[in-house]
Amino acid sequence: MSFIRLMQQRYTTKNYDASKKIESEKLKELQQILQLSPSSINSQPWKFIFVSDSDTKKQLSEVSWLNTNKVLESDTIVVFNRINNITLFEKQIEEELPEGAVGYYKEFIKPKPEEEIKAWFNKQVYLALGIFLSACAEMGIDATPMEGIEPANYDKILNNKEYATLVAVAIGYRDNEDFNQPDRKPKSRLAFDKVIETV
Amino acid sequence: MSFIRLMQQRYTTKNYDASKKIESEKLKELQQILQLSPSSINSQPWKFIFVSDSDTKKQLSEVSWLNTNKVLESDTIVVFNRINNITLFEKQIEEELPEGAVGYYKEFIKPKPEEEIKAWFNKQVYLALGIFLSACAEMGIDATPMEGIEPANYDKILNNKEYATLVAVAIGYRDNEDFNQPDRKPKSRLAFDKVIETV
């Protein structure tokens, strides 16, 4: 299927069929895709936690606002974390990246206030989120990105110390009756000319 | 090709073949894909400017740091903008989004300081960037995401008033001798266990 068809057919799944499980090879593939995600200067300021354990999912479901049922009924919750310890991040890039990339970081990012450095990390994590949602669409896996969770409680449950939860994605297979499927509820987007300009 | 193969084979293109042009149907498809990109509460706080005009590309190339040649030799520069006028954004979502989504914005996002609201917009734009880079990979188009540009000068050249340049992507077709192709320079990423955790 062409990429544009995938984008037309993917949607934010509201109801999962809890009896349908994602094959473990597919989960592994999604993990490898995230590992390969690009980021500015290859900074990779992130960690991705795949939660399939039902006790942990239950705990997460209780700190997920309106998303409780999606967390319970989907197969796996993928928690997108940004690295939260800047010293650790800097050690990591010194060890892993070429001099030019570290130089870019030192000149353009490091001098900024801590909050702006973390905001730069956050953007990279969302880039990986876009790659991940594309991968799910291509692999026929349904997904629900969820900002409406309690990140600090996710961090506690996941024993996150050097990282911080930004957003989570429920993945699994839709309930066949899900009302939000595009053939039942057409996708709504801003008009083409409002978001696209050509020069 | 499977998505994971696409991720293994895509790379940050360093040298373009200026004689190879992207077919206009493919550019149109990329534009439609961006229009369809998901975002938190379907907020779509963005605009995407496709610059194929060679005079404008020349001007942009002069405010693109080390990326001058990529801007000149690629086919098109796609400029990713976040909406910069919060009042305009709020008017837009009042008109376009269902009550529940507007309510989420009013409760969780609007009370934050302006800089944090814009940081939330930025994350959505980077999500679209991840979708876009996936689309390019699937469509066989080479791409170079570029944070190393002068956003304020991009805004001036593009006469951006209510939007702000965040990042640009050069797209086109690689020079066959490009040194950065994965078969010449293997992709480097953090170790799997450093970025993936399973529970």
From A57, A8, A91, select the one nearest A171 (Cα to Cα): A57
Q: Which residues of B touch A36 (CB under 8 A)?
A: 4, 7-8, 187, 189
When pLDDT is averaged across residues B113-125 and rounded to a whole number, the result is 98
Nearest-neighbour CA in chain A from B185: distance (Å): 13
Instruction: Let me know if residue A190 belongs to a domain.
Output: no
Q: Locate B10 and state its tokens.
A: 């895509």
**What domain range includes position B158?**
24-173
Give the CATH number, domain containing residue A56.
3.40.109.10
Quick check: A54 contacting B, CB < 8 Å? no
Per-residue pLDDT band at A139 (split at 50, 70, 90): very high
Predicted local distance difference test score (pLDDT) of residue B113: 97
Contact status, residue A49 vs residue A75, Cβ threshold 8 Å: no
Per-residue pLDDT band at B131 (split at 50, 70, 90): very high
Predicted local distance difference test score (pLDDT) of residue A8: 96
From its phi and psi, is residue A44 left (phi > 0), alpha (psi between -120 and 50) or beta?
Answer: left
pLDDT in tens, A44-56: 999 999 999 999 9
Task: Note whether B131 contacts A128, CB cutoff 8 Å.
Answer: no
Predicted local distance difference test score (pLDDT) of residue B9: 96
Residue burial A116-125, b: 16+ Cβ < 10 Å; e: rest: ebbbbbbbbb
Nearest-neighbour CA in chain B from A99: distance (Å): 14
Q: Residue A9 contacts by C-beta under 8 Å, 6 or more apart in sequence?
A: A1, A137, A182
Instruction: Let me know if residue B2 belongs to a domain.
Output: no
- How many structural domains is chain B composed of? 1
Quick check: B29 contacting A, CB < 8 Å? yes
Instruction: Let me know if residue B12 belongs to a domain.
Output: no
Instruction: Let me know if residue B147 belongs to a domain.
Output: yes
pLDDT in tens, A16-74: 999 999 999 999 999 999 999 999 999 999 999 999 999 999 999 999 999 999 999 99
Residue burial A177-188, b: 16+ Cβ < 10 Å; e: rest: ebeebeeeeeee
Instruction: Let me know if residue B180 belongs to a domain.
Output: no
- B26 → chain A, closest CA residue: A4
CB-CB: which of B49, B127, B187 is closest to A126?
A: B127
CB-CB: which of B32, B34, B130 is closest to A127?
A: B130
Q: Residue B80 contacts by C-beta under 8 Å, 6 or more apart in sequence?
A: B46, B48, B125, B128, B129, B132, B165, B166, B167, B168, B169
CB-CB: which of A2, A134, A196 is closest to B131?
A: A134
Instruction: Let me know if residue B143 belongs to a domain.
Output: yes
pTM over 0.95: yes
Quick check: A12 contacting B, CB < 8 Å? yes
Strand partners, B47: B81
pLDDT in tens, A107-135: 999 999 999 999 999 999 999 999 999 99
Residue matched to tokens 């026929």: A140
Instruction: Let me know if residue A13 belongs to a domain.
Output: no
When pLDDT is averaged across residues B155-174 and rounded to a whole number, the result is 97
B 135-164 residues with CB < 8 A to A = 135, 138-139, 145, 147-148, 158
When pLDDT is averaged across residues B69-81 and rounded to a whole number, the result is 98
Instruction: Let me know if residue A119 belongs to a domain.
Output: yes
Tell me which amino acid residue B29 is.
E
